[in-house]
Amino acid sequence: MKLAYLYEKNACTRDVADTVFDGSFDAIVCGLGTAGSIAAALLAEKGYRVLGLEAFNCVGGISSAGGIEIHYFGLPGGRGHALAVEADKMAAEYPMPLADGRRITLEKLLLERGATVCYNSAAVGVYMEKDRVVGVRAATPEGVRSYGCRVLLDCTAEGHVARMAGCDGYFGRTSDGQAQPFTSVVSMTFGGKVGYINLDTGRVDPRDGQAMSAAIIDGRATQRPEYPWMHKVIRPMPLPGIREGWRLDAMEMLTAEDFFAGRYTAEPGYYSYSDIDKHGEDVAFESELRGDWKVGANVGAWNFSVPVPWKVILPKRVDGLAVVCRAVGVDREMASCVRMLPDMYKLAEIGAEAADIALSRDIPLREIPYGELSARLTASGCLDPAHDRGVWIDGKADFDGKPLQPRKIEWITEPEALAEPLATLCPGIAIWSAKKMGYTCVPVLRKLLASADENTRKHAAFALAAAGSREGLSILRETVWERDAVMLQDCRKYNQHRGPMAIYHLGRLADAESVELLGGILTDPCEVEREIYAPSDRYPAVRGFRVLYFHFMAQSVAALVRIGNVHESERGRIAEIFRTAFADGTYAARLTNRPPCSAEANYVRNLKNIAEKAIQGWSDGKEFAF
Amino acid sequence: MFDERCEVLILGATVAAAGILAAAGQKAVIVESRPDAGYEFFGALRTVRGKHISPVTEQGIALHKRFAARDSLRACTPLFYACLQGGRVYLSAQVLDISRQEDGFAVTICDASGERRIFAQHLVDTRAEARYITAKRLNVLFMSGRVAGIDLPAEADMTEARRQLAEKLPELAAGEEIVAVADEFDLTLADFRTLEYDGILRIASAGYADPISAFDAGVLLGEELMGR
């Protein structure tokens, strides 16, 4: 037997042949958070001996000690969801915030079902027989203990156990390896009620213990005792709100590329339903798929349902282990929409049912028959074909703050039908439809370029670019030259301004004629004095961050990098623009006065970092990858 | 053999630990198993027990001034965290092993990065030891700002505390809305002054009447350890 553990972020093993377990269980659940508490309860309910190890002193994780009471999306259904609803109903009876009540009621449900719960206890190693997990080494209040198990569920949110076991995985975006900003959640009183707000604090790699500690401390140290839009802070919640972490290289992966290409899994476990969430302002440095969706077409806050393969919980090489948390096998785009509370309840149910089948038949998790699993999930409502809803505009409030009427999106398939939406401030459906149609829609769009209507002309140029055509380049340049600050209205939030959208398309088309135009945005110190960048209702000065100016700058950096990638002859000129723009800290001072540990300061630093990385790559003969 | 060295390794990211850090700076390392810090005061929703706070150290006096400008102890939480900024602090780090060396201690910890061996000349435990705890209280904060709690025996754990809280809620709340339940116990300790046994210095931060006094005591200990 070997003990697998982490050392300097790498998985290591050592022989531990003489280990005697302090106890043995059918299943051990590491992390009793949103998913882990439900998974442990479901397994205990089936009569298994279940040990739950929780690093903090309560169950519920981010949904209790993290202050995240609700998630805006995800779909109900299934036994796991029902259990969570049961806990919430009981908690609603208490005169306290739901997040506090959950600590009591989720724990009650767990203990009533016979699970053994160890608080202040965390996995620090994994016992393995060849490639099979057979136990856990845990730091507990009583000291370090070893427990044997037949199945181990990693519900640590970060895939901490899977990483120890040597499972492969992914982290961060391609451009600079960073994840979405994390949040320091605080509870506040407002209007006689308790509410929670997310204070985005910066970016951090949750696999890095020291960086994580520093980020938590910085985040809390910079909190204010009160905020203008609410009343007083009650307290910071003890758990940080990590939006994105490590992701498992699973037996079956869920990727946005497959989803948008219409390649769906044959073995779904449930349907996820959300938008591709994006909290960082520097979307310019995200993947091109996300850029096309969010910036190029301005449909980033549209929801869609996606069948999630049940095997996203299974590591490729390690048996006896399932990852039942945010760290499942998804790419970055899908990770941002497979992270809602209902997703965790459903993943918990899939993990518990899969473990039950494996334990009762004494077979490896990877060999359980999908037919039996899907029958169970369908019977409970976890896997419901009615949840295959397609694309929707959904949410509580629309772009103007008024109540949103949810509406289903049907993509346009006839080129002639593109004109009508392109004439409005909601051209997203036409732009993405044009992308799907490709060159077949170009003749129709070409005619629209000559339209006297500004919306039609400019949006047709966007649609042409999305379809891969360069015929609208001059209008795109004109849109940038004008610093067009019109904000489109396709989405309930995160709507794009036409200027940065035009820059994005110029970059995607690698338009070398735009180099001077884009360079001016970066290097002219008077650029910031333009009226469009002045603080407004949309971007109040209190944030200390000129968001629109930042978007113009960030998209210009990304576009110039794309142009340099394609046109080697332009690289010297672009490198000089970058050196001039980022020679000192004056560019940063024009953009923000937020503290260095803030998310905004991180975005601003990234401009320079991306530019420098691109220059370095080109000198090494490499293209910059988004 | 060691991944890191320090003059003093502090167990528990308590307020007293922050005081030691203020005196020792980069010569100190704090190791905390929880994801938060200062929980014995801030997480416990404690109110100040003593009326007169008289710090004696320069750092204690300065912190007291900053705290005094805020209208509640809870509002001072960011000021406390600011004391930890830039320090060598490991949150969510488990202690796996402590072994005595000829000239200090070898401490193995494990956090999100994995195992790490730290050599420390001095070891200070700022957490409350179970044997000195005489009583526990789980506090709740009401919308009005009132803090009340349920009293528990020293051996009670959080599960028992939550069970009792659910039972006694109607009486405790008396119709008022609770805005927060404490994350940690409000402890009463039989003895919390600096003690030394097994070569480990012990200063239980939770035993002090208020965070400034705990911080001040930490600074004094830190200065002593640094030979000032």
With an 8 Å Cβ cutoff, is A409 touching chain B? no
pLDDT band at B191 (very low <50, low <70, confident <90, very high): confident
Contact A100 B110 (CB under 8 A): no
- Tell me how far apart the alpha carbons of residues A255 and A260 are, in angstroms, rounded to a whole number: 9
Which residue bears the tokens 């990877």? A366
**To the nearest whole angstrom, how far is the Cα of A59 from the nearest Cα of chain B?**
10
- Cβ of residue B171 closer than 8 Å to a chain A Cβ: no
| Contact (Cβ atoms closer than 8 angstroms) between residue A396 and residue A365 | no
What is the C-alpha to C-alpha distance for residues A104 and B159, in angstroms, rounded to an integer? Answer: 8
Rounded distance, CA B221 to CA B209, Å? 17
Question: Which of B43, B96, B179 is nearest residue A238 as measured by Cβ atoms?
Answer: B43
pLDDT at B71: 84
CB atoms within 10 A of CB A583: 11
Task: Give the CA distances from residue A572 to residues A512, A560, A569, A576, A618, in Å, rounded to whole numbers and listed in that order.
Answer: 13, 11, 7, 6, 10
pLDDT, tens digit (0-9, with 9 covering 90-100), for B8-26: 999 999 999 999 999 999 9
Per the CB < 8 Å rule, is B84 touching A65?
no
Instruction: Answer yes or no: are the C-beta atoms of A161 and A136 closer than 8 Å.
Output: yes
Query: How many angstroms separate the first and last alpha carbons of chain A?
Result: 42
Q: φ and ψ at A469, to 5 degrees?
A: -95, 145
B125 touches chain A (CB under 8 A): no
Cβ-nearest to A95 among B77, B82, B173: B173
- What values do phi and psi take at B111, rounded to 5? -130, -160
| Structural element, H or E, at residue B202 | strand B200-202
Structure tokens belonging to residue A615: 């220059």
Q: Which residues of B touch A208 (CB under 8 A)?
A: 112-113
Long-range contacts of A139-147 (CB under 8 A, 24+ apart): A139/B33, A139/B94, A139/B95, A139/B96, A139/B110, A140/A53, A144/B96, A144/B97, A145/A22, A145/A23, A146/A19, A146/A20, A146/A21, A146/A22, A147/A21, A147/A22, A147/A23, A147/A24, A147/A25, A147/A28, A147/A51
C-alpha closest to that of A345 among A12, A75, A617, A536:
A75
Q: What is the pLDDT of residue A328?
A: 98
By the CB < 8 Å criterion, does B158 face chain A?
Answer: yes
CA distance B205 to chain A (A): 19
Question: In A303-441, which ranges are E strands?
Answer: 303-309, 321-323, 391-393, 407-409
**Which candidate from A139, A207, A221 shows the least CB-CB separation from B78?**
A221
Q: What's the Cα-to-Cα distance from A8 to each of A162, B139, B155, rounded to whole Å?
A: 15, 39, 37
Alpha helical stretches, state H, B58-187: 58-68, 77-84, 158-173
Q: Which amino acid is at A113?
A: R
What stretch of H or E contains B97? strand B94-101
A69 reaches B (C-beta below 8 A): no
Q: Which tokens belong to B195?
A: 């003690």
Q: How far apart are CA A524 and CA B49, in angstroms?
A: 59
List, in order of start, the domains of chain A with CATH numbers. 1-172+244-253+263-276+304-385 (3.50.50.60), 182-236 (no CATH), 412-619 (1.25.10)
First-to-final CA distance of chain B: 30
Residues 6 or more apart whose CB falls under 8 angstroms from that of B177 comprise A95, A96, A194, B142, B143
According to DSSP, the residues that pair with B200 across neighbouring strands are: B197
pLDDT in tens, B69-92: 998 889 999 999 999 999 999 999
- Determine how many CB atoms are found less than 10 A away from the CB of residue A141: 12
Is A364's Cβ below 8 Å from some Cβ in B? no
Q: How confident is the model at residue B50 (pLDDT cuts 50, 70, 90)?
A: low
Query: Which SS3 state, helix, strand or coil, does residue A374 take?
Result: helix
User: Taking CB atoms and an 8 Å limit, are B96 and A144 in contact across chains?
Assistant: yes
Min Cα distance A133 → chain B (Å) is: 18
Query: Parallel, antiparallel, or unpaired: how do β-strands A143-154 and A321-323 relate?
Result: parallel
β-bridge pairing B133-142 and B186-189: antiparallel
Chain A hits for B179, CB-CB cut-off 8 Å, are 96-97, 187, 189, 194, 234
Q: Of A66-75, B20-29, B180-189, B210-219, which range is least confident?
A: A66-75
- Three-state DSSP class for residue A245: coil
Residue A532, chain B, CB below 8 Å: the answer is: no
A238 vs B: CB within 8 A: yes
Q: Which amino acid is at B6?
A: C
Judged by CB atoms closer than 8 Å, whether chains meet at A111 and B112 is answered as no
Residue A190 has a pLDDT of 83
**CATH class, B4-128+192-225 region:** alpha beta
- Neighbour-count burial for A209-242, b at 16+ CB within 10 Å, e otherwise: bbebbbbbbbbbbbbebebeeeebbbbbbbbbbb
Cα separation, B207 vs B226, in Å, equals 24
Torsion of CA A533, A536, A541, A544, to 10 degrees: -50
Nearest Cβ partner of A225 from B70, B140, B176? B70
Written in H, E and C, the secondary structure of A335-351 is HCCCCCHHHHHHHHHHH
Nearest Cα neighbor of A101 from A111, A109, A91 is: A91
CA A127/CA A21 separation, integer angstroms: 10
Q: The tokens of A536 are what?
A: 């407004």
Nearest CA in chain B to A212: B91
Write the pLDDT tens digit of every residue in B110-131: 999 999 999 999 999 999 999 9
Concatenated DSSP letters for A173-232? -TTTS--PPEEEEEEEEETTEEEEEEEEEE---TT-HHHHHHHHHHHHHT--SB-TTS-B
Strands B104-111 and B114-125: antiparallel
Q: Do A65 and B183 touch (CB under 8 A)?
A: yes
Give, as one character, the DSSP assignment of residue B85. Answer: T
Judging by DSSP bridges, how do beta strands A2-7 and A10-15 pair with one another?
antiparallel
In this complex, the residue of A104, A218, A239 whose CB is nearest that of residue B35 is A239
From A111, A212, A235, residue closest to B77, measured CB to CB: A235
The beta-carbon neighbor of A95 closest among B141, B169, B184 is B169
Is residue A517 a contact partner of residue A477, using CB atoms and an 8 Å limit?
yes
Q: B113-134 in b/e burial notation, b at 16+ Cβ within 10 A?
A: bbbbbbbbebbbbbbbeeebbe
Containing A128, the helix (H) or strand (E) segment is: strand A122-129
B63 touches chain A (CB under 8 A): no
- Rounded to an integer, the average pLDDT of B28-43 is 98
Chain B 2-31, CB below 8 Å of chain A: which residues? 3
Domain ranges for chain B, please list them: 4-128+192-225, 133-187
For residue A9, the chain B residues in CB contact (below 8 A) are 113-114
Q: What is the mean pLDDT of each run of 10 residues along chain A (626 residues)?
A: 96 94 98 98 98 98 94 93 98 96 97 98 97 98 97 97 98 94 91 88 93 95 78 90 96 96 97 89 94 97 96 97 98 91 97 98 97 98 96 92 94 98 98 97 98 98 98 98 97 94 98 98 96 73 81 98 98 98 94 88 95 98 96
| Residue numbers in B near A240 (CB within 8 A) | 35
